[in-house]
Amino acid sequence: MAMMTVERLHGLFDENPEKNALAWPGKCHDCGCEVNVTALPMEDGIHINGGSIYEPTKDHFFLKCDTCFEKDSLLRNYQDCEVYSRVVGYLRPVGQWNDAKAQEFQDRGLFDKSL
Ligand SMILES: [Zn+2]
């Protein structure tokens, strides 16, 4: 889970004492629509409006609109992932395979012994 924590939000307000609200304008990571997520400190806590903010690594933000957040609250597919599989007897990253072997990897299916 990479959602921004309340502690981090408080930290951002501490770092920017001149601001009484924080805003993250940008695009929704999932659907690409325009979003403007705002954080407003109130007596009962910080109010987030306009969507969700994710910060999987420090100072790298991703946004989600409310509709996409309701469908899936997790942040997915935000960084490359190295996949290893067996090819000609070795385990190698699939991204380094030649085109023919990469296609072969795409064509692979799962073996179901119950059939
Ligand atoms: Zn969206």
| 12-62 pLDDT per residue, tens | 999 988 888 999 999 999 999 999 999 999 899 899 999 999 998 887 899
Question: Would you say the pTM of this structure is higher than 0.85?
Answer: no
74 Cα–ligand 1 center, Å: 12
Q: Is the dihedral of CA 71, 73, 78, 80 positive or negative?
A: negative
Alpha-carbon distance of 20 to 61, in angstroms, equals 20
8 Cα–ligand 1 center, Å: 23
Alpha-carbon distance of 9 to 107, in angstroms, equals 45
Q: Is the dihedral of CA 30, 42, 45, 61 positive or negative?
A: positive
71 Cα–ligand 1 center, Å: 9
Helix, strand and coil percent figures for the chain, each rounded to 5: 25, 35, 40
49 Cα–ligand 1 center, Å: 14
| 67-101 pLDDT per residue, tens | 999 999 999 999 888 999 999 899 999 999 999 99
51 Cα–ligand 1 center, Å: 9
